């Protein structure tokens, strides 16, 4: 399909244009700098119009009328002039039900579109979006989440209104998915107020706490709350506000003559992931755990992993290599060791079902190979 997007360079516009292109659609990107001739050409040839252009934080409140109402009228005039039959999707706001200059201008634009639909039979779909957050939203503009993500990423203190109530948010990818669904699966009932779902009601304190946990995860290695929903999307958003030269952060590596051991990630529910590097001929381990269990995955080099149940003589052996990756489970009560039998350094990813606690290490030395 051919889709005209007004406000294509804005926050929602950039994300939607990318989503449409990924879906194989042809996108006409109208924004500041586009000509009236382009607008007429694109309106006359498109299959859908997604009207996102507008103003939400002008220097002068009078600009709301021009940016949100008058441009909408201009767009509708072009639709009528070109005899376009393209349905119109309009980006409004939940503030359209409020008594403020921005909300009033959005409500006026809605009324213009509904009246046009009734007069000309054009299908229209008006979405009142909750507070939108996600990648590419401008900080210090119209989104507290964008501002706070930027501030926390740059060690700027947050200003929290102690009396602020919960705020309703919607994630940008959910908006894109909703619009794509409307475009792809057929029209919804025309002339109704629609909402992009799911939306999330969260307090500013909860958001601030989460953002600080994201920042601190680089030092304590704790993976943040990534359950599907608001905070998973918030973490994805936060990462996009890091500076380009700040995507990398150091880890603490414990090295000795045998190689090194480095913790990578930790979680409250799922333990931790580490990486073990061993020089050729080196054996590590020869211990067992009472409750802790592990998974070993050799991703570089070749290793032999041996296990023996502590009260038995039988030894089980697995040869693993980066060219033939496999997982070896290390159950509790089995003493185990891993030997680099290759010619170069071996690299093994190790998962444990709990974080290492030096006060309760649950690690007991015991040789796998028994003395004869």
Domain ranges of the chain: 2-207, 253-365
The pLDDT value given to residue 69: 92
The pLDDT value given to residue 129: 97
The pLDDT value given to residue 285: 97
Residues 59-85: pLDDT tens digits? 677 778 877 899 999 999 999 999 999
283-288, strands of its sheet edge to edge: 315-321, 302-309, 334-340, 283-288, 364-365
Percent of the chain with pLDDT strictly greater than 90 = 87
Residues 147-187: pLDDT tens digits? 999 999 999 999 888 777 799 999 999 999 999 999 988 66
Q: Which CATH superfamily is domain 2-207 in?
A: NAD(P)-binding Rossmann-like Domain (3.40.50.720)
The pLDDT value given to residue 187: 62
The pLDDT value given to residue 372: 57
Strands (E), the chain: 2-6, 26-30, 48-51, 88-93, 124-129, 131-133, 167-171, 193-194, 200-202, 253-256, 259-267, 271-278, 283-288, 294-300, 302-309, 315-321, 327-330, 334-340, 346-352, 364-365
Q: Of 102, 127, 235, 296, which residue is the catalytic one?
A: 102
Q: Coil, helix or strand for 302?
A: strand
The pLDDT value given to residue 266: 96
Mean of pLDDT values over 243-253: 97
Residue 371 has pLDDT above 80, yes or no: no
The pLDDT value given to residue 333: 98
Any catalytic annotation for residue 296? no
Report the CATH fold assignment for 253-365.
Jelly Rolls (2.60.120)
How many residues belong to the chain? 372
* Average pLDDT of the residues of the chain: 94
Buried b (16+ CB within 10 A) or exposed e, 7-28: bbbbbbbbbbbebbeeeebebb
Provide the pairing of β-strand 200-202 with 167-171.
antiparallel
Residues 299-348: pLDDT tens digits? 999 999 999 999 999 999 999 999 999 999 999 999 999 999 999 999 99
CA 162/CA 349 separation, integer angstroms: 45
Mean of pLDDT values over 9-17: 97
Q: In Å, how far are 18, 64, 84, 234, 329 from 180, measured between CA atoms? A: 11, 28, 21, 22, 43
**What sign results for the dihedral spanned by CA atoms 241, 242, 247, 251?**
negative
To the question of pTM greater than 0.75 for the whole model, the response is yes
Confidence at 47, pLDDT banded by 50, 70, 90: very high
């Amino acid at each position: 399909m051919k889709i005209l997007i007004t406000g294509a360079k804005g926050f929602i516009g950039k994300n939607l244009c990318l989503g449409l292109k990924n879906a194989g659609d042809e996108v006409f990107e109208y924004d500041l700098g586009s000509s009236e001739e382009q607008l007429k050409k694109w309106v006359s040839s498109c299959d859908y119009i997604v009207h996102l252009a507008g103003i939400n934080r002008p220097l002068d409140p009078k600009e709301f009328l021009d940016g949100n109402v008058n441009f909408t009228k201009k767009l509708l005039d072009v639709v009528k002039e070109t005899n376009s039959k393209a349905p119109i999707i309009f980006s409004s706001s939940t503030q359209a039900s409020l008594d403020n200059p921005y909300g009033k201008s959005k409500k006026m634009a809605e009324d213009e579109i509904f009246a046009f639909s009734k007069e000309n039979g054009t299908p229209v779909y008006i979405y009142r979006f909750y507070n939108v957050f996600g990648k590419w939203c401008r900080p210090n503009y119209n989104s507290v989440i964008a501002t706070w993500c930027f501030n926390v990423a740059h060690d700027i203190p947050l200003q929290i209104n102690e009396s602020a109530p919960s705020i309703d948010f919607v994630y940008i990818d959910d908006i894109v998915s909703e619009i794509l669904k409307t475009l792809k699966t057929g029209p919804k009932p025309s002339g109704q107020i629609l909402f992009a779902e799911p939306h999330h009601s969260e307090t500013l304190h909860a958001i601030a706490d989460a953002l600080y946990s994201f920042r601190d995860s680089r030092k304590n290695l704790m993976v943040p709350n990534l359950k599907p929903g608001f905070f998973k999307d918030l973490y994805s958003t936060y990462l996009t506000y890091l500076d380009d030269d700040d995507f990398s952060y150091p880890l603490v590596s414990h090295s000795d003559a045998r190689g090194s051991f480095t913790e990578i990630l930790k979680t409250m529910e799922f333990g931790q992931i580490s990486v073990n590097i061993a020089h050729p001929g080196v054996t590590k381990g020869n211990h067992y755990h009472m409750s802790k269990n592990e998974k070993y995955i050799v991703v570089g080099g070749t290793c032999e992993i041996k296990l023996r149940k502590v009260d038995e003589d039988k030894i089980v052996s697995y040869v693993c290599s980066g060219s033939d990756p496999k997982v070896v489970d290390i159950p509790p009560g089995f003493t185990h060791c891993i030997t680099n039998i290759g010619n170069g350094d071996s690299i093994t990813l190790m998962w444990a079902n709990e974080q290492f606690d030096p006060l309760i290490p649950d690690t007991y030395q015991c040789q796998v190979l028994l003395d004869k």
